Amino acid sequence: MKVAFIGLGNMGLPMALNLLKAGYQVAGFDLLQAQLDAFKAAGGISMDSASEATLHADVIISMLPASRHVEALYLGDTGLLARANPKSLLIDCSTISPKVSQAVAAEAKSKGFAMIDAPVSGGTGGAQAGTLTFMVGGEAKDVEKARPLLEKMGKNIFHAGANGSGQTVKVCNNMLLGIQMLGTSEALRLGIANGMDPKVLSDIMAKSSGRNWALELYNPCPDVMENVPSSKGYAGGFGVDLMLKDLSLAVENAQNLEASIPLGKLARHLYETHSNAGNGQLDFSSVFHLKED
């Protein structure tokens, strides 16, 4: 099976490399030459354009930054839907607007393509280890066709529903994660202000009703936990600006549906404040140091 992988960034590159390790023939494209060079050095087939990479592909996987990039890749006279083989299975792993995801999938279907949305959770560490969680939207038969590839890049594959459902789950999950990290950081800082050892406080709360993923596996307080961004100067991991993007998607989605998400809106404002203070490229757990207005 020939696979085309479009978008070899911090997430896309290790995902594509896991497909290579599994024995797939993978042709890739990225706008950055350094990413293409790394892909080629690992045994991938480096291409000069997305159209060239997808020309003979059985499966096309995209992992792009935002909705506009996905629209530009697939739609229009020069998009893949006008150039690729309609027998190719399309898998978009980008995190984008559910509305845009549904529109692109509908256009793909009208041109004879099978397409699923399959955004991921697990960060760069999960991408490298092949332990990502995939949240998949699309027809069941197309999800099953994609499953063998997804299982080489992740360990949890959930079929959420129709096209766009994967994006909806991702938006909801990351909104909750952003809120959770803010609450965990505030609780730890309050304890520290009272003279508590943050590790002792974390250990107790992790066994109490305040337990959560951020507290137990991704503690935002430096030196409480090894091998997490907070103990590495908040380097690596999931950036503040990426969390801000996902929270913006949640707010946009809620506005379109007239749904109430007051905490989601507040979280978006707080991450925006943190980003504007020059912290956009730090891991999102750096909101532990968020300054009050």
Q: Which residues are catalytically annotated?
A: 170
CA-CA distance, 122 to 130, in Å (whole number)? 9
CA 292 vs CA 223, 238, 286: distances in Å: 23, 22, 14
Phi, psi of 7 (to 5 degrees): 105, 85
CA-CA distance, 126 to 130, in Å (whole number)? 6
Please identify which residue in the block is written with the tokens 């109430």. 260
CA-CA distance, 263 to 255, in Å (whole number)? 14
Q: Kindly calculate the radius of gyration of the chain based on its CA atoms and give it in whole angstroms.
A: 20
Please identify which residue in the block is written with the tokens 């707080």. 270
CA-CA distance, 25 to 22, in Å (whole number)? 9
Phi, psi of 4 (to 5 degrees): -110, 130
* Concatenated DSSP letters of 143-156: HHHHHHHHHHHEEE
CA-CA distance, 160 to 172, in Å (whole number)? 12
CA-CA distance, 269 to 248, in Å (whole number)? 9
